[in-house]
Amino acid sequence: MYKPKREQMNFYDIVYETTVPQNHFLRKLAKVLDWNSFEPRLSDLYYDTGRHAHNPVMMFKAIVLQFLYDLSDRKLQEQITGFMPFRWFLGLDPLASAPDYSAYCRFRDRLGEDKIAELFNHVVMSARSKKLVTDRLSIVDATVVKAKVDTYKMNAPSDNNDDEQSGPKSKVDPDASYGHKTKNKPFFGYKTAVAMDADSGIVTKVTATSGAVHDSQHFVEVCDVQAKGTLADKGYDAPQNFAHLKKHKSRAGIIPKRRRGKKIGHIQARYPEPKDYQWYYLHKHKRPQVERFFADAKCNHGLRVARYWSLTKMKIQATFTALAVNLKRMTTLMEASAQTT
């Protein structure tokens, strides 16, 4: 069981009217979604008996704030305790106690990877229903996320290690592995891959893999086949990825690799049809737009380093980060649309 959300106005609402500015970002964010629509998707996390738990919609909104403002669990509790806009957004009375910091960890674990993906998809569906996502052109790319480990203390691979190509493993985070941004730039950690709608900047698909996984191997999982065309860099140049796009009738805009011993003609080899060749050249310059999402996610929302250990929790972090950035982007787009009408 969980506590129902308070709906009736009282004296405390007057307090919020005077302490939370009308143009505050969280007031705008509250109007972007019907937050009550998340309750049916969260209610199955709780039993009908037992003591009352915190309202799941309130807890979900608290985790959204955590990733929006890049806060630890303890810092999140502190901000909810002392920052009125946070309390207003969550629907807490000004004098009510904030949930303990340990409650946020338990709630994320209760959600799990699949439920968080469901909530993320609900936000994307809402963006599509508001005509923010056009599905005209999608951009697929991945970025490096460093593991939360001290690489100097890691053990070298043993003689019976079946995965020695990925290098030494960490005892605290065995899912993380070595990968290469370039031939001479190794990293230890994970990769986060996204598909971003080029017109709106809203991420429609997101996943995470170990650092040793090649980009071409997660393309099918992260590619958004609802888009009419898909752009990607040469790391995704693989026959199965072109075949996947062709199967779903989505135009391919993957940059071809130069073939060994073939200085010219490698592009025509992937795009033998003139119309496909022309479409590729017309749209390929838009691919770097996805870097804006990664820059924002890393600089402002903590995606530069993994918050937790394990691939499952890395996927949770990547999904919540994309969700938070999407909500920020939706707020901006809807505000701009309101000003032009």
Q: Are residues 224 and 315 in the same domain?
A: yes
Instruction: Report whether 215 contacts 254 (CB < 8 A).
Output: no
Q: Are residues 194 and 246 in the same domain?
A: yes
Distance CA 169, CA 176 (A): 7
Within-domain flag for 167: yes
Q: Are residues 103 and 150 in the same domain?
A: no
Q: Are residues 182 and 289 in the same domain?
A: yes
Residue 60 belongs to domain spanning: 11-112
Within-domain flag for 123: no
Q: Are residues 107 and 145 in the same domain?
A: no
Mean pLDDT of 6-35: 81
Within-domain flag for 40: yes
Banded model confidence at residue 43, pLDDT cuts 50, 70, 90: confident
Q: What is the pLDDT of residues 203-213, one digit of tens each?
A: 999 999 999 99
Q: Which domain CATH number covers 294?
A: 3.30.420.10
In whole numbers, what is the pLDDT of the chain averaged over residues?
Answer: 89
Distance CA 200, CA 332 (A): 10
Confidence (pLDDT) at 256 = 92
Banded model confidence at residue 156, pLDDT cuts 50, 70, 90: very low
Q: Are residues 23 and 152 in the same domain?
A: no
159, with CB counted inside 10 A (0-12, 13-18, 19+), is exposed
Q: Are residues 17 and 155 in the same domain?
A: no
Instruction: Report whether 171 contacts 148 (CB < 8 A).
Output: no
Q: Are residues 143 and 282 in the same domain?
A: yes
Q: Are residues 257 and 329 in the same domain?
A: yes
Confidence (pLDDT) at 164 = 45
Within-domain flag for 124: no
Q: What is the pLDDT of residues 220-277, one digit of tens each?
A: 999 999 999 999 999 999 999 999 999 999 999 999 988 755 555 678 888 989 999 9
Beta pairing partners, 207: 193
pTM > 0.95: yes or no = no
Total structural domains within the chain: 2
DSSP conformational letter for 169? B
Q: Is the pLDDT of residue 218 over 70?
A: yes
Q: Is the pLDDT of residue 97 over 60?
A: yes
Within-domain flag for 3: no
Within-domain flag for 326: yes
Q: Is the pLDDT of residue 33 over 70?
A: yes
Those residues whose C-beta lies under 8 Å from the C-beta of residue 250, and which sit 6 or more positions away, are 138, 223, 225, 227, 228, 229, 230
Mean pLDDT of 5-33: 80
Q: Are residues 188 and 72 in the same domain?
A: no
Q: Are residues 183 and 226 in the same domain?
A: yes
Within-domain flag for 118: no
Q: Are residues 107 and 196 in the same domain?
A: no
Distance CA 261, CA 263 (A): 6
Confidence (pLDDT) at 15 = 76
Q: Is the pLDDT of residue 193 over 60?
A: yes
Flag the least confident range among 111-125, 168-182, 259-273, 304-318: 259-273
Within-domain flag for 240: yes
The alpha-carbon radius of gyration of the chain (Å, integer) is 22
Instruction: Dump strand ranges (E) for 88-202.
Output: 138-146, 177-182, 185-197
**Structural domain ending residue among the three candidates 77, 112, 147:** 112
